[in-house]
């Protein structure tokens, strides 16, 4: 519940404060968001399985975002930034899908 509240708070702040993404962060932010979504879905799945832990969530969230950003940064340095970020998005997307499938199975038993 507190997570939903925090999410709404962030969305509200983003809507109210008219902030554009800093130039240096522009390649990383979309990947970071997808990584964070992956952590969020994993946490939701863990909560439904009854193994949710605050510390694990925070650490996985932060590390997910950092690793995703690092991979994109590395790709940019190697000159394959766009390909690598596509790859990261694909991998994270697959993880999000499998988590969502697990959540669906648990909630709807289907």
Where does this chain bind another protein (CB under 8 A)? Answer: 1-11, 13-15, 18-21, 26-27, 29-30, 32-33, 36-37, 40, 42-43, 45, 47-52, 54-55, 57-58, 61-62, 76, 79, 81-82, 95, 98-99, 102, 106-107
Identify whether the C-beta of residue 85 lies closer than 8 Å to the C-beta of residue 75. yes
Give the C-alpha distances (Å, rounded to integers) separating 11 from 24, 29, 37, 50: 22, 15, 14, 28
Choose between 7 and 70: whose C-beta lies nearer to another protein. Answer: 7
Nearest approach in angstroms of CB 79 to another protein is: 7
Tokens representing 92? 């994270």
Choose between 76 and 91: whose C-beta lies nearer to another protein. Answer: 76
Nearest approach in angstroms of CB 78 to another protein is: 12
How far is residue 108's CA from residue 82's CA, in Å, rounded to a whole number? 38
Nearest approach in angstroms of CB 71 to another protein is: 15
Tokens representing 71? 């991979």
Nearest approach in angstroms of CB 30 to another protein is: 6
Number of C-alpha atoms within 13 angstroms, CB side, residue 56?
A: 10
């Amino acid at each position: 519940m507190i997570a939903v509240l925090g999410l709404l708070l962030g969305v509200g702040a983003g809507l109210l404060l008219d902030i554009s993404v800093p130039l240096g962060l522009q390649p990383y932010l979309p990947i970071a968001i997808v990584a964070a979504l992956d952590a969020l879905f994993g946490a939701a799945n863990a909560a439904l399985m009854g193994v949710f832990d605050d510390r694990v969530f925070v650490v996985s969230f932060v590390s997910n975002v950092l690793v995703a950003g690092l991979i994109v940064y590395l790709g940019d340095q190697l000159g394959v930034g766009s390909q690598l970020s596509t790859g990261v998005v694909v991998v994270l997307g697959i993880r999000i899908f499998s988590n969502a499938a697990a959540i669906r199975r648990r909630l709807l038993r289907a």
